[in-house]
Structure 1
Amino acid sequence: MENRLHQHASGHGASHTAERLPIQLVWFQEFSNVGDAWRRERKLHGWGAQKREALIRGWEEIKRLAKPPSQR
Structure 2
Amino acid sequence: MKGFMYILECSNGKFYTGSTKYLDKRISQHQAGTGANFTKKHLPVKLVYYEEYDNIADAFYREKQIKGWSRKKKLALIEGRHDELPELSKSTLRQAQVTT
Q: TM-score range by the shorter chain?
A: 0.7 to 0.9
- C-alpha root-mean-square deviation of aligned residues, in Å? 2.0
Residues 61, 11 of structure 1: alpha-carbon distance in 2 compared, 3 angstrom cutoff: farther
- 1:30-64 per-residue CA deviation (whole Å, 9 max, x = no partner) reads 11111211221222222121111111111223134
Q: Which residue of 1 aligns with 2:26?
A: 4
User: Aligned residues, how many?
Assistant: 69
Residues 43, 67 of structure 1: alpha-carbon distance in 2 compared, 3 angstrom cutoff: closer
CA displacement at 1:10 relative to structure 2 = 2.0
Pick aligned residue for 1:55 from 77, 86, 90: 77
Q: Normalising by the residue count of structure 1, what TM-score does the alignment of the two structures yield?
A: 0.73
Q: Which residue of 1 aligns with 2:35?
A: 13
Task: Return 6-15 or 31-40, whichever deviates more.
Answer: 6-15
Residues 47, 39 of structure 1: alpha-carbon distance in 2 compared, 3 angstrom cutoff: same
Higher relative contact order (CA 8 A, sep 6+): 2
Distance 2:25 2:74 in 1: 22
CA displacement at 1:26 relative to structure 2 = 0.9
Q: Which has the higher helix share?
A: 1
Give the SS at the match of 1:55.
helix
Give the SS at the match of 1:12.
coil
CA displacement at 1:29 relative to structure 2 = 0.4
